[in-house]
Structure 1
């Protein structure tokens, strides 16, 4: 994917994206970033909210006013809900609070690229009484909020996107942890156990079933 990175300290992020097959152009201040983004030459914009010269929120508002619809992933040092909502209301498609791990950045980039390729503005995933809001990065079950850590959120998102299908440990390691081998760890089982506990506390009935020797399946109880 061709990505424009508008960030005044871009080296680490640019190296991580490039190492994973993306073509990255980095700009370290807002006005030049706006001109580059307005060219329409990029498939994704990754923008620091506090980029100098023209802050990220104002930059994206100008882009949207100019009918530039390129997906935007905001990077923000302010991780509160109000800050994330401000980014989305400015025209962003997703917000990633700093500090973040590279696998989470890559997962967000892949998700935005996938949405852009399929031409869909999907904002929510549902299975039974479970709902995930992809814009607000929130989860509810039977109307009750479920507080998840970033990796738990990614894990549940993958299960929701494959609801009704059995997903193996290897699939989860590859798509959630970005590992293409089995490191002989119980990381999947440990995260799955915590996720199950949180979902079960919010409503009666298990949603995640273990399929012995095969993996896991997300689906309504019974």
Structure 2
């Protein structure tokens, strides 16, 4: 997926680019309205700053929509006024995020817009080496041996298995697996990861889930202990 970051703050643009690149996105950067307009022809999503030299993001958004460009746009702004956000949305932006923002929230919004723009029919069967998961039947097996899981344990394993070898931070796991009403306890993800490890180990696998300090957790694939 190709992302265009239209942002004149070079440090912020570089931070967003590094973070998105680490998640598998291909990123390019434009610093003003003219270069943003020129670069917006072959991208899957635009992260657009509200205030730009030589114009502003709202005008760039309007120009893109007037040209028939329907690429999803997330607008960033340091302006807290409700009318400013309304202007951006009415100009054609799909989402709005205030500065300063948490990168994990920006990433979650990007992923939501990507899913909305290109919905995919996913197979109910996930396979990671010898680990088999059926998302419709809510079952998991390791070399044919059932791994008994609670609903939350299953959802956690499913998330990791859909993206093998990819690290997930505690915050992203919480936002994807736990209900929005859940209390954000700092160690709840660690507890459930530990439970998963014990149950997978009981089924005959070890060293499946890797922890990297300060980064998060990932399911190693292929799972073939």
Q: Which structure's CA Rg is the greater one?
A: 2
Q: Distance in 1 between matches of 2:23 and 2:59?
A: 29
Offset at residue 95 of structure 1 (A): 0.5
Q: Does residue 6 of the first structure (1) align with residue 1 of the second (2)?
A: no
CA contact (8 A) 1:170 1:180 kept: no
Q: Is the alpha carbon distance of 1:171 and 1:76 closer, same or farther for their aligned partners in structure 2, counting shifts above 3 Å?
A: farther
Once residues 179 and 55 of structure 1 are traced to their aligned partners in structure 2, the CA distance between those partners, rounded to angstroms, is 36
Please list every run of 5 or more consecutive structure 1 residues that lacks an aligned counterpart in the other structure: 120-165, 195-212, 214-222
Gaps of 5+ in 2: 121-150, 185-194, 196-225
Q: Could you say if the C-alpha distance between residues 182 and 90 of structure 1 is closer, same or farther in structure 2, counting changes exceeding 3 Å?
A: closer
Matched, 1:21 2:24: yes
TM-score when scaled to structure 1?
A: 0.56
Question: Does residue 192 of the first structure (1) align with residue 182 of the second (2)?
Answer: yes
> Deviation per CA, 1:5-43, whole angstroms, max 9, x where unpaired?
100121111111111111000011111111111x2x100
| 2:78 is equivalent to residue 77 of structure 1 | yes
Distance 1:23 1:52 in 2: 24
Cα pair distance change 1:99/1:181, threshold 3 Å: closer
3-state SS in 1 of match to 2:168:
coil
Contact 1:173 1:180 in 2 (8 A): no
Alignment of 1:173-188 (within 5 A): 180=168
Q: Compute the TM-score of the two structures, normalised by the length of structure 2.
A: 0.55
Coordinate RMSD, CA, aligned: 3.4
Q: Which residue of 1 aligns with 2:110?
A: 109
Residue 170 of structure 1, CA deviation: 3.2
Give the whole-Å Cα distance in 1 for the aligned partners of 2:157 and 2:86.
Answer: 31
Question: Matched residues in 1 for 2:117 and 2:152: separation?
Answer: 25
- Structure 1 residues 171, 8: closer, same or farther in 2, change over 3 A? farther
What is the deviation of 1:50?
0.4
Matched residues in 2 for 1:21 and 1:67: separation?
A: 27
